[in-house]
Amino acid sequence: MFLADWKIIAEVSFLLLFILAGIAVASFFLIRSLIASFKEVFKYQSKMDIELRKTINLLSKIDKQTDYSQFLDHNVKQMTYEEKKHMIQLVDSGYEKIDKVAKENQYLVETYENLHEIRRVRDSLVLTHNQKITFFPFNLYAKLLKMKPFDLYTEK
Fill in the amino acid letter for 46.
Answer: S
Q: Please check whether residue 153 lies inside any domain of the structure.
A: no
How far is it, in rounded angstroms, from Cα 91 to Cα 84?
10
Q: Cis omega before residue 149 (within 30°)?
A: no
Q: Please state the pTM of the whole predicted model.
A: 0.82
Domain count, the chain: 1
Residues of the chain whose pLDDT is less than 70?
A: 1-4, 156
Q: Please check whether residue 152 lies inside any domain of the structure.
A: no
CA 146, distance to chain mean position in Å, is: 15
pLDDT of 20: 96
pLDDT of 4: 63
pLDDT of 64: 78
How far is it, in rounded angstroms, from Cα 71 to Cα 56?
8
How far is it, in rounded angstroms, from Cα 141 to Cα 87?
34
How far is it, in rounded angstroms, from Cα 115 to Cα 121?
10
Q: Please check whether residue 149 lies inside any domain of the structure.
A: no
- Domain carrying residue 81: 11-144
How far is it, in rounded angstroms, from Cα 48 to Cα 109?
15
